Amino acid sequence: MNKSEENIISTFLKDSDPLDALSDILLNFPPATTPYIRLLVAILHRAILDSDPITKERRNHRINAEAWLAARNPTNPEPFSFHWICINLNLDPDKINLDVKKRMSGK
């Protein structure tokens, strides 16, 4: 990840709701952003969308998204796991998870 991509991600995620921040990131990445980074942000964004309790008609999506977001293997994260994506985007997985849980509980 280059410095401009890092700066965009850290700027949007400072104190924002993670879903809103990731939406903003997806819309505001400069054209030069690597497709790899765009993909990782999109995967994380989709999981947070799917974990939203408002979408009860999509219960299976929510259950799978919550399980994916809760999975932990910090010493050897699987490629494209929540922890692995956070590491590759220079994000704190614990903070993102906490923010998502707050969002899900409506706080």
Answer for the pair 78, 84: CB distance below 8 angstroms, yes or no.
yes
Answer for the pair 74, 83: CB distance below 8 angstroms, yes or no.
yes
Whether the model clears a pTM of 0.85, i.e. scores above it, the answer is no
Q: What is the pLDDT of residues 26-84, one digit of tens each?
A: 777 666 677 888 888 888 888 888 877 665 566 777 788 888 888 877 778 889 999 99
Structure tokens at 56: 């009860």
Alpha carbons 68 and 47: distance in angstroms, whole number: 8
Alpha carbons 33 and 43: distance in angstroms, whole number: 16
Alpha carbons 50 and 2: distance in angstroms, whole number: 29
**Residues present in the chain in total:** 107
